[in-house]
A and B are shown apart, each in its own frame.
Chain A
């Protein structure tokens, strides 16, 4: 195990990918409800609804429909809206179905950086998964619920 590489990234997850479209188009795929609905649903899920208030402090709300069972909402608040360079939004994990998670929620931050490379765009996603100590104090925070809910959400 290469710990040296693992430890500095323990709090953050970073992914990069080169998409063969201009930055504006890639940015819109994340922020136009009619586009988001066509690709964002987890595997096997559909996204029957998406509401987006694309402004700093505005919120988004995606309706997620699992193959079986009740639909639930995934939502958060935009922190940075800079088309077509940067988009940042909170990522709140909340689920009332998971045992022991009633009333608990976990707020994390997702940052998207769009870098134009000719007619292509490199997208770097950073998911700050671990709140700072200060943020921990400010939020009702439960890793138990968030991990269990995440398992429940993505294992389907």
Chain B
């Protein structure tokens, strides 16, 4: 069985269950950014964006460092990777289902064709 740290996963998923926070993560995937840069495109106060960043930091999805008065944020990809782990399970599961369905439909297709050939021969 694959090892998951479930408590961390729970915190991670809670942090990701918000469109603003997902947008922040998406923007950080292009590289490190200052907090004010990050906040600029959002239609909300700097304080509100800071709160989202704080939550992401607590979930270890984002880390911050201070350079003088400027705070820089960067993505912590390994946490995101762990959260994505469950997707791999389902991806495998549904891939298996799709293969099984295709096989079943192919086998089903062969049967009626044989029947109709039989029918023709009888005529």
Any A CB within 8 A of the CB of B45: no
Q: Considering only CB atoms and an 8 Å cut-off, how many residues of chain B contact the other chain?
A: 42
Q: Which segment, of B23-31, B35-43, B113-121, faces chain A? A: B23-31
Q: Which residues of B contact A129 (CB under 8 A)?
A: 86-87, 90
A150 to B89, CA, bound (A): 8
Any A CB within 8 A of the CB of B70: no
CB closest chain-B residue, reference A151: B1
Inter-subunit contact A40/B29 (CB<8 Å): no
Q: Which segment, of A10-18, A50-58, A64-72, A76-84, faces chain B? A: A10-18
Inter-subunit contact A132/B100 (CB<8 Å): no
Q: Which residues of B contact A150 (CB under 8 A)?
A: 86, 89-90, 93
Inter-subunit contact B92/A154 (CB<8 Å): yes
Partner of A125, one of B16, B80, B94, B103: B94
CB closest chain-B residue, reference A9: B87
Any B CB within 8 A of the CB of A136: yes
Q: Which residues of A contact B80 (CB under 8 A)?
A: 3, 6-7, 10
Inter-subunit contact A42/B96 (CB<8 Å): yes
Any B CB within 8 A of the CB of A92: no
Inter-subunit contact A4/B29 (CB<8 Å): yes
Inter-subunit contact A130/B17 (CB<8 Å): yes
Inter-subunit contact A7/B29 (CB<8 Å): yes
Inter-subunit contact A133/B14 (CB<8 Å): yes
Inter-subunit contact A147/B6 (CB<8 Å): yes
Residues of chain A from 17 to 75 with CB closer than 8 A to chain B in the complex: 17, 19-21, 25-26, 29, 35, 38-40, 42-43
